[in-house]
Amino acid sequence: MNRTHFDTFQSLRQAIKTELKWGSAGPMRDAVALALLPAALQGPVDYTRLRDTAAFLKKNNAKLYFLRSSTRYAVAASLLTEDMDAEKFVTDISAARQSWKDLKLRRTSPYEGASLITLYFAGRGSIDRSVLSTVKMSFDMLKDAYFWHVGPLTLPALSLAIHHRSGAATDGAIIFDTLRQEKFPSQYRMSTSLIATLRQTGHQETSRWLTDAYQAFRTRKMHTAGRRTTSLAVASLTDITPEAFAAEVDEVRQHLKEGPFRSSNAGALAMNFTNMSRVISLRDTASDDGNLAGFTTVITALQAYIAMQEQAAMVAVITASTAGAAAAAS
């Protein structure tokens, strides 16, 4: 565990509670803290700018529930971390939403918003319509072949994968089939497979890493965290063994339990924090290593995706409570 990263994360959680006057809102507080962590490691966080950006997003929400609800704070935190302009963000997201509609992609909240925002950060402040076209084509292909395993929930992971590898759907399907033979959990199997296509190894080796990681969490009796298999896929990209990843998450989980904030799902939060911490370290390495420079946009998108997992979960809860419908998020 990177102690500097952990201490900074804990201080962010307290500062967010104080500065934003949030008495509870634990999952959203943690999503904002995750999004702010890279910036906080570089210097003081400007909470006035965070509040102003969040207020702007609420007023100019591009008809996205993501930006009308409290999740706008996590989006604002990501914009602040990447030093991106909120006005341009709203303009570009609005245009991308129209392209999304024209292409007849699934318009289901919160997954449309999560997909577009992930693509925006992956594109360093832009969304290419040709990428959306490939997402549409790939989604339809996967839906035809794996009807019961592909739906709106698949879209954020598919968007992330397609942005960086246009053939990700084909490779993802191969990994999916291998994981199915290994009795890998089915709920997020397709999303997990798609993210894992960013790993620079063969299909069999990638599948083995994922199944070994899942078993490592089961061995440690961290069943809830282990079922967050999209997070396992993110971890597989950061050059760590499955057992070492499980051990680090377990260590973070214990520290979270002992800290001032009592998380109802410390294992899942520990996994997201560990991924973010490792992604930040990899990003720092990439800035000094020409061989890794091309991976920085992937890392930026992964940072957004890690925060998005918490945001999507919160949006689903809010949606379910207000609309009276059941919702599930990755």
User: Above 80 in pLDDT, residue 106?
Assistant: yes
Q: Tell me the C-alpha distance between 315 and 123, whole Å.
A: 24
Is 56 inside any structural domain?
yes
pTM of the model: 0.86
Count the Cβ atoms, other than its own, within 10 Å of residue 321.
10
Find, among 104, 37, 35, 110, the residue nearest to 69 by Cα: 110
Q: What is the pLDDT of residues 119-156, one digit of tens each?
A: 888 888 889 999 999 999 999 999 999 999 999 889 98
38: cis peptide before it, omega within 30°? Answer: no
Is 98 inside any structural domain?
yes
Is 234 inside any structural domain?
yes
Q: Residue 77 sits in which domain range?
A: 3-323
Question: CA end-to-end span of the chain, whole Å?
Answer: 24
Q: Tell me the C-alpha distance between 181 and 96, whole Å.
A: 38
Q: What is the pLDDT of residues 27-65, one digit of tens each?
A: 788 888 988 999 999 999 999 999 999 999 999 988 887
Under 8 Å between Cβ of 166 and 315: no
Q: Tell me the C-alpha distance between 179 and 236, whole Å.
A: 14
User: Token pair 């050059």 is at which residue?
Assistant: 239
Q: Tell me the C-alpha distance between 277 and 85, whole Å.
A: 25
Is 212 inside any structural domain?
yes
Is 330 inside any structural domain?
no
Is 189 inside any structural domain?
yes
Rg of the chain over CA atoms, in angstroms? 18
Total structural domains within the chain: 1
Residue 227: the pLDDT is 77
User: Above 60 in pLDDT, residue 294?
Assistant: no
Is 329 inside any structural domain?
no
Q: Identity (one letter) of the amino acid at 33?
A: A
Is 256 inside any structural domain?
yes
